Amino acid sequence: MLNNLGKYDVVLGSNSPRRRELLNDMGVNFRVEAIKGIDESYPANLPVEEIPVYLARIKAQGHPLQENELLITADTIVVLDDAVLGKPDGEADAHRMLRALSGRDHRVISGVCVTTGDRTEAFSDTSIVRFAELTDEEIDYYIEHYRPLDKAGAYGIQEWIGNIGISGISGDFYNVMGLPTRKLYQVLKTF
């Protein structure tokens, strides 16, 4: 895969430090170019399973491709029952989300779009995450010390809350971090 990607200028269209870290860990040579000014709303009737791919495609459309560029865009959502938990609007909202996730299973769905001048491949991956029961003190500690206000569902699995609060996971751990690396690797091999 890495030799095949050598013919491309690989661009990660994301400001996420987690996505940068994961793509780097995959051994991909890339540069980061954040895509700004994207309206991340989606049609109200869109099934939750399709939202991340829809948003990843919208982000890809926000970057005019140069010759020989391969663009990777992604979006991740947290779904509790059928409700999408986006990024919290503040500490109180983060507390509300983590309280709702406490002691329950939820889905994390990431959508990825890989685009070149003549080809687009988009896919998603879903992981099931189970939180142990969290106390208000644990939730408050996490919010105060880790400031998860830029994360869907108000948590990062790779942070303290993941170490003490995740009692189980089914599916790709890296998908929960924001980039389903196994599936992305399989797609990149085909370019």
Active site residues: 75
Can you spell out the DSSP letters for 10-49?
A: EEE----HHHHHHHHHTT---EE----S------TTS-GG
Nearest alpha carbon to residue 53 among 121, 132, 142, 155: 121
Contact 169, 128 (CB under 8 A): yes
What does the alpha-carbon distance between residue 133 and residue 112 come to, in Å, rounded to a whole number? 31
